Amino acid sequence: MVENVKERLYFKRRYVMYGITTILLFCIPFIKINGNQIFLLSFDRKQLHLLGVAFDMQELYLMPFLLILMFLAIFFMTTLAGRVWCGWACPQTIFRVLYRDLLETKILGLRKRMENRQLEPDMSLGSNKVKKVISLVIFACLALVAASNLMWYFVPPEDFFNYIQNPLEHKYLFIFWLGFTIALIAIVVFIKENFCIYMCPYSRVQSVLYDNDTIMTVYDYKRGGEVFDAKGIKLWKKPEALNAECTGCEACVKICPTHIDIRKGMQLECINCLECSDACTKVMGKLGKMTLISWTSPQSIEDRQKVRYMRFKTIGYIVAMVVVFSGLLMMSSKKEDMLLNINRQELYTIRDNGRVENSYVFLFQNTQKQAYDFYFEVQNNAEIQIKRPSKPFRIEAGEKSKQVVVLYTEANLAKDAQKDTHIPLEIRAYAVDSQEPIEVFRKSVFIYPPNKSLH
């Protein structure tokens, strides 16, 4: 029986998940594909890195797809499995387990028992005050490392370690770094689970996404017996109905980090950590019975059927995610080798020899990792020539270059006696000294004055 009870406990699986999440979050900034991070939003470099592809700020047409995908994924996850993120992978929950359970309870003995989270340490004792200071100092060091980890998603680790050697030149980095550290200490040490209950925006919206088939922490009132009435008023500590299995030990209530009684039904405060389920598994295990609190859907408790994972809502979210993800892949495959913006200047200039000139400003950006010489050509009209710039120009890696461009023609391209003629241009800009083709194509227009002789 003891073996069976151990197998049914969730805490080991939860700790493994915490370990995997921590390792992943810590390592992701160091994993590079083609020299780019898996995820980086760098305001310094004005770049977004996504799965090893670097996008310049001017290429952020992917952002709407990413945001829609992120929201759809959150909606899907919440509809399917409620607040599973909160209990199993949220850094706030992981930090609370590290600080409250490992540091304060197991290592320092500041809290008496892990099984009773309602009991706060007696801070009138001098020894407890010392322990509290020690726990704060240790957690502050951990928070500093965690805040650095968060920064690496915005400042690449190699830049981060360079910048912190020159604090005066990178004041903002230090302000954010220390700000995140202090916020983390405040949330984990002082605000505690109140953050999950009152401050986290996700907890505010998740309840509207639930339905009766959503997996959550559910008390089996059919076996255990009703403890609260329909208005949420507690009827008794131990259900007095005939055959009610709940012993009224309240092990599930005492262990709950958000201080709720799950026997009351689904509550916003529940972070799905399943500590109450483990507590009940131990109590009921001694009686040779199954836990009264499980990770299942209210509907499956009601009709004793398996959880319905695939239903209209969840299938709808999967389809929507596939559509948006395909759009994201399609758009990211259109990523260009370099960037070029073309702006036409004044209408046109007519020289004494009849030559007609049009001016433009070409804004080039070398998005490659090394410097190249760039130039361009008019592809679709041999009559239109380049006057300026007369030769290729060098652009360093990641840098921009603004070029005043003058195109001219000595041919008579007028098609009308009264109106200007708009001649479409197809421009190909390219790196002249690259082995691989680095090129972009742009459209513009050359304007030619009216020719009275056409009357």
Between 156 and 257, CB nearer to ligand SF4? 257
The answer to the question of residue 244 lying near ligand SF4 (CB under 6 A) is: no
Between 149 and 291, CB nearer to ligand SF4? 291
Between 54 and 271, CB nearer to ligand SF4? 271
Between 49 and 263, CB nearer to ligand SF4? 263
The answer to the question of residue 93 lying near ligand SF4 (CB under 6 A) is: no
- Nearest approach, Cβ of residue 274 and ligand SF4 (Å): 5
- Nearest approach, Cβ of residue 73 and ligand SF4 (Å): 22
How far apart CA 158 and CA 141 sit, in angstroms, is 21
Handedness of CA 92, 98, 101, 104 (dihedral sign): negative
The answer to the question of residue 90 lying near ligand SF4 (CB under 6 A) is: no
Which residue among 250, 364, 367, 414 contacts ligand SF4 (CB under 6 A)? Answer: 250
- Nearest approach, Cβ of residue 301 and ligand SF4 (Å): 13
**Which range touches ligand SF4 (CB under 6 A), out of 66-74, 163-171, 252-260, 447-455?**
252-260
- Nearest approach, Cβ of residue 225 and ligand SF4 (Å): 9
- Separation in Å, CA 121 to CA 96, 112, 129, 336: 15, 8, 10, 60
Interacting positions 283-312 with ligand SF4 (CB under 6 A): 283, 292-293
Report residue 223: phi and psi, to 5°.
-85, -45
**Which range touches ligand SF4 (CB under 6 A), out of 7-15, 108-116, 253-261, 314-322?**
253-261
**Which range touches ligand SF4 (CB under 6 A), out of 104-112, 240-248, 299-307, 414-422?**
240-248
The answer to the question of residue 9 lying near ligand SF4 (CB under 6 A) is: no
Beta bridge partners of 365: 339, 400
The answer to the question of residue 218 lying near ligand SF4 (CB under 6 A) is: no
Between 255 and 438, CB nearer to ligand SF4? 255
Taking the mean position of all CA atoms in its chain, how far away is CA 101? 28
The answer to the question of residue 184 lying near ligand SF4 (CB under 6 A) is: no
The answer to the question of residue 368 lying near ligand SF4 (CB under 6 A) is: no
Between 2 and 382, CB nearer to ligand SF4? 2
Between 184 and 271, CB nearer to ligand SF4? 271
Between 97 and 271, CB nearer to ligand SF4? 271
Q: How many residues bind ligand SF4 (CB under 6 A)?
A: 28
Binding mask 256-285 for ligand SF4 (x = CB under 6 A): xxx-x-xx------xxxxxxx--xx--x--
* Residues found near ligand SF4 in the complex (CB under 6 A): 217, 224, 246-252, 255-258, 260, 262-263, 270-276, 279-280, 283, 292-293
